[in-house]
């Protein structure tokens, strides 16, 4: 028995409440080392017997192996805690060997009524229960970069705005996309089936991307007016579409009035403590070079045009939080995406959540955090983070990257990601494959639309809410920022402006539109099953190009199989691979029977997929 591979900690993702009387408890063991695990648990004060013979009245709960990352196996069990308290330890079995694992370590097993080596969860407080808005689980998001989506009111276009075009763009170019253009195309978004819109920043700013805010309380004039925002929210809600805005509270732009005051008055400015300033003069060499290395203040990255705000200053915190509340109360938006959320202190986000949720109880709060983010997802800060990790793993597999060379590696990676957070956090996730900050998905996959479609299908079956980047329905490509921010190739705009290339490949565009529409609608139709069901990852070392996911609630089931390879996987090979995959992961004969039967129906084509609802559709 590999003692070093066994780990548990009472709290975080290892032991968390899912209600006022239920705890989910997890254990890690070394991969392929432990045959079975039992949880020994009961209320700390639950005793049985009489007089001196009274003992702790614990129960044995079998734990389920939920996955592996190739280094650790993951085990899980739910335990009742009717009085909101629980003491527990683990019985770990390997062959004929059984050990007890508890707070004091791995020891020879004691009588199950003995709790000297127990972990203890002292009390389930309501604030410890993670709660994200219920509506998020049924949402499929559509991300819009407003400046490049649609020019609905040319009279508002910035001076020097270019004619709408396809192809490469720069961050210095303007094309006149605005709120009116988004309103014009809401029926397009609704027809695709999307019921959530995420807008990148719309507030006053000199740039095309708007991440350098000049005035947090003003809609950028090129985008429209407060009336336009009111109409956009109203029209979204009339179609059953939620809408969240992008808050840039880590830093401002150089045109922000308090920063301008600091630039003008230096140490005499009353706003000097509004920013993360180490010393004056701000520019030791006497001028702003654009690079903040050596400057007297902190910035986003090393861009002097984005000075970092000091959110720990109560005056700054009040200004920013009241701004967020203003847009919720005044315009009825449904939540916030929070830019560079990990560089702002936790007390700020706790107060932000308290105030925003007081204004709208089911507002959605999602942070931009690209790394492991459990510290922001304990129920008192964010409801979700932008889950790039799922998307990165999927794209790496489909592009045969060394990080995820085969289906087994992908199955291990997604299992590890699921084990990294409490299940309620995973089911509220904001999952995406590309965005304004990354390469377009098709470009990342070497221009392969078939592989991109496989990625979108996998995304649609992940727990959490999937997000599609605008233009995915037209197979838009593009490299890293700014190339990923191309103009949306609307047919009518193309006709007026002579953009012949936008109308080329009409059949391909129509097929892609239909694919995205059906994928989004399939996801919404089966949202309860996808977010509430048990997930089975399918992968086999002998078929490195194969990956699959099955979701079942015991009654209904969905199966997706993808083949990234250049040759088809025949029925016999497919059936055997699925059987070996289920055996390797310890799934039941029942699961093997229905999955094997489904996989035996047909071959899996080269760079192709098979998706089916095995019942209920």
Distance in angstroms (rounded) separating the CA atoms of residues 293 and 303: 9
Nearest to 297 by CA among 341, 254, 348, 255: 254
Distance in angstroms (rounded) separating the CA atoms of residues 579 and 285: 68
Handedness of CA 30, 31, 32, 37 (dihedral sign): positive
Rg (C-alpha) for the chain, rounded Å, is 27
Q: Which residues pair with 370 in a beta bridge?
A: none
Place of tokens 């059949």: 507
DSSP state, residue 330: H
Q: How far is CA 471 from CA 145, 209, 291, 476, 516, in A?
A: 10, 17, 33, 5, 10
Strand pairing class (141-144; 119-121): unpaired
Classify burial at 524, counting beta carbons within 10 Å of its beta carbon; exposed 0-12, middle 13-18, buried 19 or more.
middle
Cβ contacts of 288 within 8 Å, gap of 6 or more: 304
> E-strand spans in 137-293?
141-144, 196-199, 203-204, 215-219, 242-247
H or E element at residue 187: helix 186-192
Cβ contacts of 234 within 8 Å, gap of 6 or more: 332
- Residues designated catalytic: 339, 368
Cβ contacts of 593 within 8 Å, gap of 6 or more: none
Q: Which residues pair with 338 in a beta bridge?
A: 247, 367
**Other CB atoms within 10 Å distance of the CB of residue 612:** 14
Q: What are phi and psi of 543, to 5 degrees?
A: -130, 75
Distance in angstroms (rounded) separating the CA atoms of residues 318 and 204: 20
Q: Which residues pair with 100 in a beta bridge?
A: 91, 107
Distance in angstroms (rounded) separating the CA atoms of residues 443 and 483: 10
> E-strand spans in 517-591?
534-540, 543-552, 557-563
SS3 391: helix
């Amino acid at each position: 028995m590999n003692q070093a591979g066994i780990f548990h900690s009472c709290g975080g993702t290892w032991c968390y409440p899912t209600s006022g009387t239920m705890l989910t408890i997890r254990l890690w063991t070394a991969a392929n080392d432990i045959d079975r695990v039992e949880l020994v648990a009961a209320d700390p004060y639950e005793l049985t017997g009489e007089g001196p013979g009274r003992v702790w009245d614990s129960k044995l709960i079998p734990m389920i192996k939920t996955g592996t990352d190739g280094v650790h196996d993951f085990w899980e069990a739910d335990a009742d805690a009717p009085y909101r308290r629980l003491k527990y330890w683990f019985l770990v079995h390997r062959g004929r060997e059984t050990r007890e694992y508890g707070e004091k370590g791995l020891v020879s097993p004691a009588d199950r009524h003995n709790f000297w080596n127990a972990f203890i969860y002292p009390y389930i407080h309501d604030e410890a229960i993670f709660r994200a808005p219920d509506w998020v689980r049924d949402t499929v998001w559509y991300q819009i970069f407003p400046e490049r989506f649609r020019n609905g009111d040319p009279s508002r276009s910035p001076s020097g705005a270019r004619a709408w075009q396809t192809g490469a763009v720069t961050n210095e170019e303007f094309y006149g996309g605005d709120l009116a253009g988004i309103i014009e195309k809401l029926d397009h978004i609704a027809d695709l089936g999307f019921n959530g819109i995420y807008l990148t920043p719309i507030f006053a700013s000199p740039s095309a991307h708007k991440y350098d805010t000049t005035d947090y309380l003003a809609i950028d004039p090129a985008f429209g007016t407060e009336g336009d925002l009111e109409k956009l929210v109203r029209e979204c809600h009339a179609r059953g579409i939620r809408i969240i805005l992008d808050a840039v509270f880590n830093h401002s732009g150089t045109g922000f009035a308090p920063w301008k005051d600091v630039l003008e008055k230096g140490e005499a400015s009353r706003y000097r403590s509004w920013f993360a300033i180490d010393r004056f003069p701000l520019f030791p060499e006497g001028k702003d070079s654009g690079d903040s290395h050596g400057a007297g203040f902190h910035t986003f990255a090393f861009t002097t045009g984005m000075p970092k705000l000091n959110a720990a200053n109560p005056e700054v915190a009040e200004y920013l939080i009241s701004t967020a509340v203003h847009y919720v109360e005044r315009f009825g938006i449904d939540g916030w995406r929070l830019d560079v959320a990990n560089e702002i202190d936790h007390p700020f986000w706790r107060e932000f959540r308290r105030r925003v949720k007081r204004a709208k109880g089911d507002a959605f709060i999602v942070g931009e955090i690209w790394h492991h983010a459990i510290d922001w997802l304990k129920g008192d800060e964010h409801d979700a983070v932008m889950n790039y990790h799922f998307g990165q793993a999927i794209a790496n597999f489909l592009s045969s990257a060394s990080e995820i060379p085969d289906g087994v590696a992908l199955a291990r990676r997604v299992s590890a990601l699921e084990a990294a957070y409490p299940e309620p956090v995973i089911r509220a996730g904001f999952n995406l494959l590309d965005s304004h900050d990354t390469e377009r998905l098709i470009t990342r996959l070497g221009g392969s639309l078939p592989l991109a479609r496989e990625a979108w299908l996998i995304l649609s079956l992940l727990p959490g809410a999937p997000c599609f980047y605008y233009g995915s329905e037209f197979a838009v490509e593009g490299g890293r920022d700014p190339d990923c921010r191309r103009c949306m190739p609307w047919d009518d705009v193309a006709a007026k402006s002579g953009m012949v290339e936008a109308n080329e490949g009409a059949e391909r565009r129509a097929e892609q539109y239909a694919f995205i529409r059906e994928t989004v609608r399939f996801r919404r139709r089966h949202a309860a099953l996808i977010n509430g069901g048990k997930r089975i990852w399918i992968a086999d070392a002998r078929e490195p190009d194969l990956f699959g996911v099955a979701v079942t609630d015991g009654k209904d089931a969905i199966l997706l199989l993808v083949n990234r390879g250049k040759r088809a996987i025949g029925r016999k090979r497919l059936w055997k691979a699925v059987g070996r995959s289920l055996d390797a992961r310890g799934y039941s004969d029942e699961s093997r029977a229905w999955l094997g039967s489904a996989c035996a129906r047909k071959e899996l084509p080269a760079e192709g997929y098979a998706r089916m609802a095995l019942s209920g559709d």
